[in-house]
Structure formats: C-alpha cells, structure tokens
Structure 1
Amino acid sequence: MSAESRPERSKVQRSLAGNIAFALGLIVVLATTVLGAFAAVALLLDAADVAPLSSVVPDDGQNALVIGGIAVGGTLGLMLPVLLFGMVKGSEQTPRVGARAAGRKLLALLAFDVYVLVLAVVVAQIGWILPKGVTTVVAVFAVGFSWMPLAMIPRERLGLGSRQPE
C-alpha cells in the first residue's frame, strides 16, 4: 500500500472547499457573537427591571448595562465557537487546543465577563446624578476601553500559554 491512499484533489477543489468551510465558520462565529450580545442585553435589562439589580441601577443608568451586556455577550459569543473550532482543527503551525488550555481560556473569559459586568454596574451608578445621555457616553468609554490595559498584559503572565512564533 502506498503512502498516498487517497486520490489527490485539484488545488481549485481544495481551495473552494476551504473557502466554503471558512465562510460557514465565519457565519457561525458572527451569528453567535450577535446573538450572544442580544441575549446578554435582554437578560441584563430584565435583571435591572425586576430582578436583584432593580434597586441598584437607576433608570438613567440602564444604558450602561446595555453596553456591558454587548461586551459580555459579544466576547462570549465570539470566543466560544472560536475555542471549540480550535479544539477540533489544528495544524503543524497551530496545534489543537487541549482540554486543559481550553478550560483556562474559558476561566479567563469568565473572569473578564465578571469584570465587565461589575464595571457596567459601577458606571450605571453615575445615572443617579447625571442624565441618561451623559451616562451613556461615560459608559461607552469606561466599558469600551477599560479592557485595553488587560489586553496589553502578556498572555504568559496570566497563565494562558505562550504566543505562537511569527
């Protein structure tokens, strides 16, 4: 039996199949990102209206929760399918993500989401003294840019593994 037991497909067929797989993967990732953001916003607004956050979040601060929900749901919806794809697909340059590494990355994502939620609730407190529009602008900058220092920390210091060589 020879080393090549499968018949070779042409380069055009391989690239077409790869492009279709990439497009389907991209559609799944974008759909989960958008749906995750909508779901988190709906859950947070419901929590601010009737649940435990109703006495903590003023009416003028609810947009801060919307912005935090977009951040939480978007990152979760983006990272979960990417992580699952990484556990299935691998190559010599980028090996598959193992279960232990995936667990660490999910815990890091959970910690980031908790950080964003707490920050959104803290920024929502500005709604007690400032109008809704100003609170929304402050929330966009506070929640939107607060993760920048965290993103600048090397992954090795957070225990998330080493970067791939370029």
Structure 2
Amino acid sequence: MSAESGAGQPKAQRSAAGNVAFGAGMLLVLATAVLGAFAAVALLGRTVDPGPLSDVVPDDGHNALVVGGIAVGGLTGLMLPVILFGMVRGTEANGGTPRVGPAAAARKVLAVLVFDIWLLIVALLVAQLGWFLPARLTTVVAVFAVGFGWMPLAMVPWERFGLGEGFGKLRGRSASRQAK
C-alpha cells in the first residue's frame, strides 16, 4: 500500500539530510515550547507570591495562573520559531508555500502576543474563583477555561475589521482540485 502522487505531480523525494533537518527543527520547536511554558510559570509565580498580584490572587487560585502560564509560554514558545522558520523557508516556484515577509511576521507575532494577553486575563479571572472554591476545583475550571479560551476570539468576524482575508483561501494542489 503506497501513496501515489496525483496525475502529473512528481513524487516528493526526501534526502537523509532533509530528514535530519526536519527532525532537528521539530526538536527545536518542541524544546522552545516546553522551555517557554516553564519560563512563563516561573515569571507568573514571582508576580503572585511576593509580587504585585499577591493581594489580587487568593491562595486557592494560584494554580489557575500556573495553568495560564503553561498555555502562554507553550503557545509563544511554539509559534515564534514557526514564524521565524516561515521567514527563511519557502519558495514561490511550483505553487509552493511563499516565505513570510517581515510585515506579515510582525503581524503574526503581534497576534500571538494579543492572544497571550487574552489567556492571562482568562487565567486571572478564573483565579478569582479561588475566593469561593477549593484549589483543586479552581485548577480544573482553569484548565477548561484556558483550554477553551480561544473560542471567543474564533467567533469574532475578523474579516469585517480587515484582519482575516487570507485565512480562508486554499493554496496549492487542494485549490486546483476545488477549482475543478
């Protein structure tokens, strides 16, 4: 059972060096995601325990900020290398994926930072449940609230604000199949 290429499409050949480069890239992205999560948790822990948020966040809500820190650090650590790879990798030839320009990369980084701020606000709001709920229950609610925190942003009609024109367009072979 082998996968065959489409009609008229040459078979993609990967060299050993390409496989090693892909594996190294994946390890780098995963490492930055994990390290970003640890760094965000460490920074949030310093702002809550002896820092400026110590009066705002109850003791039973501390884990909600840890959950938010994991999400923020992991997302940022995952997306920044991917955006940077997109700036140096890509080609316009043969309908391939084009490189990401500096302006588009800056917009993507800004979008990641705005989303990070949104997730921190969600985590801070859930942490307030620590005034009423025990720590374990607050942590469970935080996992669901932060995990599904992207849904309100996904429902905004970004196209009306001029921010989402390129998201729904197909490229490459799938676009040529849709055109038929």
TM-score, length basis structure 2: 0.80
Aligned to 2:163: 159
Q: CA deviation at 1:91?
A: 2.2
Q: CA deviation at 1:161?
A: 5.1
Q: CA deviation at 1:147?
A: 0.7
How do 1:129-140 residues align onto structure 2 when only pairs under 5 Å count?
129-140=132-143
Q: In structure 2, do the counterparts of structure 1 residues 18 and 153 end up closer, same or farther at CA, with 3 Å as the change threshold?
A: farther
Aligned to 2:79: 79
Q: Does 1:121 align with 2:128?
A: no
Q: Which consecutive unaligned segments of at least 5 residues does structure 2 have? A: 1-11, 175-180
Q: Does 1:97 align with 2:100?
A: yes
Aligned to 1:15: 15
Q: In structure 2, do the counterparts of structure 1 residues 22 and 160 end up closer, same or farther at CA, with 3 Å as the change threshold?
A: farther
* % same residue: 65
Q: Distance in 2 between matches of 1:155 and 1:94?
A: 23
Aligned to 1:144: 147
Larger relative helix fraction: 1
Cα offsets for 1:59-106 (capped at 9, x unmatched): 100110011001100010000000000000012321110000011111
Q: Distance in 1 between matches of 2:97 and 2:29?
A: 19
Q: CA deviation at 1:46?
A: 1.2
Aligned length, in residue pairs: 155
Contact 1:101/1:160, CA 8 A, preserved across alignment: no
Q: Distance in 2 between matches of 1:153 and 1:90?
A: 30
Q: Distance in 1 between matches of 2:79 and 2:107?
A: 13
Contact 1:155/1:162, CA 8 A, preserved across alignment: no
Q: In structure 2, do the counterparts of structure 1 residues 94 and 161 end up closer, same or farther at CA, with 3 Å as the change threshold?
A: farther
Q: CA deviation at 1:119?
A: 0.9
Q: CA deviation at 1:151?
A: 3.8
Q: In structure 2, do the counterparts of structure 1 residues 21 and 149 end up closer, same or farther at CA, with 3 Å as the change threshold?
A: same
Cα offsets for 1:114-163 (capped at 9, x unmatched): 00011111100000111001101110111111213434657755625513
Q: In structure 2, do the counterparts of structure 1 residues 161 and 102 end up closer, same or farther at CA, with 3 Å as the change threshold?
A: farther
Q: Distance in 2 between matches of 1:152 and 1:129?
A: 30
Q: Distance in 2 between matches of 1:161 and 1:106?
A: 18
Cα RMSD for the two superposed structures: 1.9
TM-score, length basis structure 1: 0.86
Q: In structure 2, do the counterparts of structure 1 residues 160 and 86 end up closer, same or farther at CA, with 3 Å as the change threshold?
A: farther
Q: Which consecutive unaligned segments of at least 5 residues does structure 1 have? A: 1-10
